[in-house]
Structure 1
Amino acid sequence: MISHIRAAGTSFLLDARGTGVPSVVHWGRDLGALDEAALTAVADAAVPAVPPSSIDMPLRLTLLPGLTDGWSGRPGISGFSSGDSRNPGAFSLVGVETPAQHKLLVRLANIAGSLAITVEIELSEHGVLGLRSSITNRASTAFELGSLDVILPVPDRASEVLDFSGLWTHERRPQRHRMAHGVWSRESRHGRPGHDDAFLLTVGTPGFGFRTGEVWAVHLAWSGDKRLWAERSALGPATVGAGELLAPGEARVEPGETWTTPWTIAVYSDAGLDGLSAHLHPWIRSWSTITTPRPVVLNTWEAVYFDHDLTTLGELADVAGRVGVERFVLDDGWFSGRTDDRRALGDWFVDRAKWPDGLMPLIDRVHRAGMDFGLWVEPEMINLDSDTAREHPDWVIDADGLSWRFQHVLDLGNPDAFDWIYARIDALLTEYPIRYLKWDHNRDLLTASAHRQTTALYRLIDAVRAAHPTVEIESCASGGARIDLGILRRVDRVWTSDTNDPLERQEIQRYSSIVIPPEYLGGHLGAARSHTTWRTSDLGFRLATALFGSAGIEWNLTAAGEDELASIATWISSYKSLRGLLHSGTVVRADSSDPALSLHGVVSSDGSTGLFAYVASGAPLTALPAPMRFPGLDPDRVYRVAPLSVGAEPRAIQDAAPPWLGNPEGVCLTGVVLAAVGLPAPLLAPEQAALYSVTAVG
């Protein structure tokens, strides 16, 4: 049979005729509604020639490519059974099932009959392709699985690769190169994706941008070790691949057991990177745990650090409530003996020296100020200088190994350790009216089984959420070191980066939001001088940057001036009125010829409204920059474009502003004119941002 699933501009075509592993004929642009005869014609026409000095049959890329197919690139599966060097050997087709529309189950078995594999393939109504495999060991001896990956074909015109790297406070840095023969592989061995996570590996037509070009992208929905790659074979085919990165002996499949891989998420777009977001964001929103507007958060970390006392934090809560904050989060330093980051991690009891009456006096103060209460925890980690580590040294992974931020990893795969940490979290959430956990993870694993720890983490979060379904969870991992579609299934927010420096945040948020919808991306208004870069930024730039996401504050507001507090109150009021648009609309980004200038925004799903930010990260290349072009609008509708103030004005270096900005009513033009011609830009000083509202007229 030939299976064709299609949705939202995407087709996936699988040739399952015969007894071999089915071949992937096509993944990409929608091929339209094809009947059985047309599908057969497409599949037959796709069979290539047989070149000299090669296998004596046409080479076709299967769902599980390997040497037995003549494929000498990265294989779809590797591993062995004790005493049997033939394993896994060649696989054959058992059958293809269609349990639901847009879903396939491909069942395979190796020739020896010792292994069975089921490949699940789903194409969502949003055009997002998901694939994962389950392998069952039918032999009498264990099977040592080395890898079980998803490999998908891409056409030869997809000759440019984009992925990401980064550092702490500098996550999601894009990097591009041309594809040549061989493998471009990005591997993570952090026990979490890491600050240098490849995140999303995209191949596309040369020069593809945010709004232009064909692109094919893969992401692994997994919070442990992984790899993403692109390969162009001298044999001809080009592929992209993804899979969990397994350590030797980590995936031992015992007789009768089944091992299931994480989901690989694959997306095609003929409209550049924004087209990927246009598929991914609605799909994520279709299963998101978020059900209420994203509250304005105040986190205490950069306000007080470890210096906790009721008087200081009570005053901070009062000021936060006055400017409109909706959630107050008490960060690190609240538990017994925690005076710095070198001790007490793992002892999850309220510090009676700092909080003699427990946390309720502060929580009452927070509630009186009109906010709900959140708490910081780091359940996966432990200090050796802690009562828990002293009493249970066997719970510490590699206690004699390297420390990181003076901490080690708590072995969540140990049932006793798992039960202990779950009991402490459950006790806190039962005793106190905590609505929110900031769940941190401040070091790499560097040892043991990343798979074991990651699956245990998932079980722990799932157990906490099942017992306390009204508690929201934010995933933080030294900032943005664990942002993936595996953790996103279990949390309501991610901490995008530990930096609140708006200049760094502009780039981090731009690229993180290709995959992650803005409502998940925590972004905070910090003090004028950045805690992480020591750069000083104007209030207006900080306000405009923190607006686009799940907004919050990380600043000692008791030290802010009255003018600053008034600006913050205006900003919060603006955020509350705009978050319905920001957190449901389509994210758009204009391509720019000047790396110092960018324009991004959100357009409502019905195309009636939009909010855009024009950002100058540095000095422009020319005295008169190119016009601002506003993408994503209905080309035939007329829109009014007007400046928007959210509490502080941007600085400009100009003798006169463009005349259209002098009209308090703005300017009215069609969507096609705004996208193709645009509007003259203000001459912003470096590190400034101007906001514009766009509203359909009539």
Structure 2
Amino acid sequence: MTTYRIDTTGQTLVFAEDGGLPCCLYWGPTLPESEDLGALAQAAGNDITGGMLDALPPLSILPEASRSFPGQPGLIAYRDGLPLYPGFKAAGERRYRCDATGLTLFLEIKAENGVVTLAHRLEADTPITLHHLAAPVLPGPQSGEILHFSGRWIGEFLPQRAPWQPGMLKREARTGRSGHEHPPLAFFLEDSATNTAGTAFGMHLAYPGGHVMIAEELPDGRRQIQWGKATGTQTTGTEFHSADLLLTLSDKGLNGCATAFQRHIRDAVVTWPDPDRPRPVHYNCWEAVYFDHDLPTLKDIATRAAALGAERFVLDDGWFGRRDDDTSSLGDWQIDPRKWPDGLTPLIEHVQSEGMTFGLWVEPEMVNLNSDLARAHPDWILGPKDQIEGRQQRVLDLSLPEVREYLFDALDAILSSHDIDYLKWDHNRLLPIPDAAQADGILDLLWRLRAAHPQTEIESCASGGGRIDAGILRHTHRVWLSDSNDAIERLCIQHDAALLLPAAVTGSHVGPRQCHTSGRIIPMAFRAWVAAQRHMGFEMDPRELTEDEAETLKQVTTWWKENRHWTMSADILRLDSFDPAVTAEMQLAQDKSRFVLFAGQSQTSAQILPRPLRLTGLDPQATYRVSLLNKDEAHRLSRGAPALKSAPLTLSGAALMTLGLTLPWRFAQTMWVLEGHRLEGDRREP
């Protein structure tokens, strides 16, 4: 038997193989370098008893039906209509061959930044039809529960918890995107794991198309976790890839997994056009004007946005074809001469004169039947003619090279003839049929466009957060987390999305006084501080602002700009709030010298007095000076004297993480913001 180990910060994987496919013997916290892997393999051995086969079918990296495996097999494939049951044998380093079926499997492993990336590549001597190819399969923990996510438009990243039990928990997103409904992210928690304590295993499939996750307890009690592209979406061919599976592990709670994902995406996945450029404050005009484009109005709005602190102006939908609403012109990527008789240049020049750069909305993968493109090329449309439409639009078939060539030429022409440093790339319609080739097509198009215009940033938007994953972020730089600008909803959405996403890629905008998606009227201070927790922007009509609202927004934006040099690279640490009405998190600087704590009061608390908040991630032996940044917002009903209302507090990291801080009482829809600095030269002895 051959054994080997894979290590990165905080986790170890141990594999063993005995002539066939390897099995993962161990996935857990880092093992000592001296660990005897042969003894570990012996310790992982299983007994055989009555009612079982004479040998235990292996739970390998790709469980084989040919080995009498009792659960979901890792490969389902056909040739000439007949099922294939390969039996793979070792044929070189991480290479496995079945001569009878002509299939070769490759195991791909990479470890960096606290994340292990696993994938399978499958080659066939002659074409096969593939229905399912799992990424490398790992055993599930024997205790705890499964934390996964559901969602919908304007309600992304909704946490769900499920127990392990005999049988299968299967989540499948078949809409052609990584999806609102089941984002490709899950955590497997040992008993009692929280944000700040306990053991958690994190898994993320880096793929922007439909996907499947299977967590299965076998009849013999073993547990397997499989991830792959959505069942049946792959076609006939000779080479296939499972998509990359990203693994994190923490024995200090969910935050350890989350920060590993955050750092990996920010530092190893996203390729920044200019890594030294501060993340700019956005202004997006969508909820100010919608399709009603008028140059004098937009100039006025741009001037007001710049005065509030915006640094990038984004012209949203409505600038092309004859796009007066969402029923026409998708696919016709030429500037509308009715609205823009002199083109976009006059607006771009005005925006730049106000000290901002210019960005543009596009939705290249889609087409309206009422468009010149659809009339000229009905054969470019994906799916049946009598399909149900979404947002009065259909999907272009990006598996066709001629479609990708048309879209590249159209977008290249726009970017080459205008000074545009940013594209908001939207995707507002589910696929009419599951199709993995569509995801491959969009990645190819994005790769070509990035190569031609390396200084242009791209945001992944799909009716908000419908396509968020590390696969799309290899070609983009920002995600539009949700179409909801309701700060109460955003507070929770971005808090849960931080289990995967760093602040630098997570767009969060200050919306209108009365939210366009919920109807709620929310105070400016709360809207501004929620946006300031991530990559900040505005998306309202600045002409509606009162003087007090404008001043509040400018103050928060100024604070964000003064601190973005460290907050955009900080770890987002979720706090275990004892009050469900309070959503709290810290952003801790990379050198751990400072932090900011946001405590959002989304609704009225059940108890009358605020419960203490325990901080996390601090050096217990260090001393910190903590101040309440917005103490002037304390309400007159807060009549007591919590210390932070009058002066900063100086406490040890141990005290802050054990006793915690008790904040002043507040109404709902308010946010306390605290700043902390580690005092140098005042480290206490253990």
Q: 1:429 to 1:267 in 2, by over 3 A?
A: same
Match of 2:117 in 1: 130
1:95 to 84, 92, 95: 92
1:117 to 101, 105, 130: 105
Match of 2:417 in 1: 431
Query: Which 5+ residue runs of structure 2 have no aligned equivalent?
Result: 681-686
Shift of 1:295: 0.3
Q: Map of 1:167-182 to 2, 5 A cutoff?
A: 167-182=152-167
Equivalent residue letter for 1:114: G
Distance 1:625 1:561 in 2: 31
Match of 2:10 in 1: 9
Distance 2:103 2:352 in 1: 58
Q: Which moved more, 1:108-117 or 1:332-341?
A: 108-117
Partner SS, residue 644 of structure 2: helix
Shift of 1:511: 1.0
2:54 to 47, 52, 56: 56
Q: Map of 1:13-28 to 2, 5 A cutoff?
A: 13-16=14-17, 18-28=18-28
Equivalent residue letter for 1:571: V
Equivalent residue letter for 1:147: H
Residue 662 (str. 1) matches residue 663 (str. 2): no
Match of 1:407 in 2: 393
Shift of 1:68: 3.1
Equivalent residue letter for 2:546: G
1:204 to 183, 189, 192: 189
Equivalent residue letter for 1:5: I
Describe the superposition over 1:297-330 as per-residue Cα deviations: whole angstroms up to 9, x where unpaired: 0000001111101100000111112222100000
Equivalent residue letter for 1:108: Y
Match of 1:262 in 2: 243
Partner SS, residue 470 of structure 2: coil
Shift of 1:199: 3.0
Partner SS, residue 367 of structure 1: helix
Q: Which moved more, 1:561-570 or 1:326-335?
A: 561-570
Match of 2:405 in 1: 419
Match of 1:100 in 2: none
Q: 1:643 to 1:344 in 2, by over 3 A?
A: same
Distance 2:334 2:259 in 1: 45
Residue 684 (str. 1) matches residue 681 (str. 2): no
Describe the superposition over 1:153-191 as per-residue Cα deviations: whole angstroms up to 9, x where unpaired: 445433311101111001110011211111111100111
The answer as to whether partners of 1:222 and 1:487 remain within 8 angstroms in 2 is yes
Q: Pairwise CA RMSD of aligned residues?
A: 1.7
Identity %: 35
Describe the superposition over 1:255-292 as per-residue Cα deviations: whole angstroms up to 9, x where unpaired: xx322221111222112211111211222233222312
Describe the superposition over 1:221-276 as per-residue Cα deviations: whole angstroms up to 9, x where unpaired: 1111101121111212112221011426x3312xxx32222111122211221111
Distance 1:13 1:76 in 2: 20
Match of 2:522 in 1: 537
Distance 1:179 1:658 in 2: 47
Q: Which moved more, 1:225-234 or 1:324-333?
A: 225-234
Distance 1:649 1:241 in 2: 52
Distance 1:113 1:242 in 2: 24
Match of 2:255 in 1: 274
Q: 1:388 to 1:667 in 2, by over 3 A?
A: same
Describe the superposition over 1:127-153 as per-residue Cα deviations: whole angstroms up to 9, x where unpaired: 2121111111124xx212221103544
Distance 2:81 2:523 in 1: 68
Distance 1:67 1:352 in 2: 61
Residue 77 (str. 1) matches residue 75 (str. 2): yes
Q: 1:657 to 1:584 in 2, by over 3 A?
A: farther
The answer as to whether partners of 2:186 and 2:202 remain within 8 angstroms in 1 is yes
Partner SS, residue 138 of structure 1: strand
Equivalent residue letter for 1:123: A
Partner SS, residue 184 of structure 1: strand
Distance 1:156 1:478 in 2: 35
Q: 1:644 to 1:61 in 2, by over 3 A?
A: same
Distance 2:503 2:215 in 1: 28
Distance 2:337 2:141 in 1: 65
Shift of 1:696: 1.2
Equivalent residue letter for 2:98: N
Q: Map of 1:260-659 to 2, 5 A cutoff?
A: 260-287=241-268, 288-290=270-272, 291=275, 292-397=277-382, 398-447=384-433, 450-645=435-630, 650=633, 652=635, 654-659=637-642
Distance 1:498 1:268 in 2: 31
Distance 1:89 1:682 in 2: 65
Distance 1:667 1:339 in 2: 56
TM-score by length of 1: 0.94
Describe the superposition over 1:492-524 as per-residue Cα deviations: whole angstroms up to 9, x where unpaired: 100000011010001110111111111100000
Q: 1:66 to 1:650 in 2, by over 3 A?
A: farther
Shift of 1:554: 0.2
Partner SS, residue 448 of structure 2: helix
Q: 1:365 to 1:667 in 2, by over 3 A?
A: same
Distance 1:57 1:306 in 2: 66
Match of 1:101 in 2: none
Q: 1:657 to 1:310 in 2, by over 3 A?
A: farther
Shift of 1:83: 6.5
Distance 1:83 1:308 in 2: 55
Equivalent residue letter for 1:73: G
Partner SS, residue 556 of structure 2: helix
The answer as to whether partners of 1:540 and 1:650 remain within 8 angstroms in 2 is no
Distance 1:83 1:560 in 2: 65
Partner SS, residue 72 of structure 1: coil
Shift of 1:113: 5.2
Shift of 1:406: 0.6
Equivalent residue letter for 1:33: E
Partner SS, residue 421 of structure 2: strand
Shift of 1:657: 4.2
Distance 1:408 1:156 in 2: 43
